[in-house]
Amino acid sequence: MNQGLHYIIRLCQTLCNKKILKKTSILGLSPGQPKILEFLFDHNGCEQKEIAKACEIEPATVTHLLVRMEETHLIERKQLNGNRRSWHVFLTMEGERVNKKVFKIFDEVRKEAFEGFSAEEQVETFRLLTKMFDNLSK
């Protein structure tokens, strides 16, 4: 299968994403919601626009996803300091509970992807992919 770098990276990303979405859909999550939960783990209380940028999701799509997440009590949105134009997003206790399950799914898929890899090969793969990302981000 000599299709080129772009092809194999796209295939790996697609398969990884399909496995994650299949498992997170059982939790009632729709596409886009797992990465928002993951981002909020480290950025709880951030503004919606930060989520859109970090997760590479259109702002209107983020708004739609957050409305659904609010309806299922995963997050709550608040206006801070009287600023009515800016919403800050916080995980609820339910959101934190579901997020733990999401991280477990991420770990399961990572383990499946690295089956047969030594610990050193796993570290080296992350190092090389990070270096590649840095190169392409310039």
Give the number of domains in the chain: 1
The pLDDT value recorded for residue 1 is 52
Residue span of the structural domain in which 97 resides: 5-137
Question: What does the alpha-carbon distance between residue 65 and residue 61 come to, in Å, rounded to a whole number?
Answer: 6
Q: Supply the pTM of this predicted model.
A: 0.86
Q: pLDDT tens digit string along 16-50? A: 999 999 999 999 999 999 999 999 999 999 999 99
DSSP label at residue 1? -
CATH at residue 22: 1.10.10.10
Burial class (CB in 10 A: 0-12, 13-18, 19+), 104: exposed
Residue 99 has pLDDT above 90, yes or no: yes
Residue 107 has pLDDT above 60, yes or no: yes
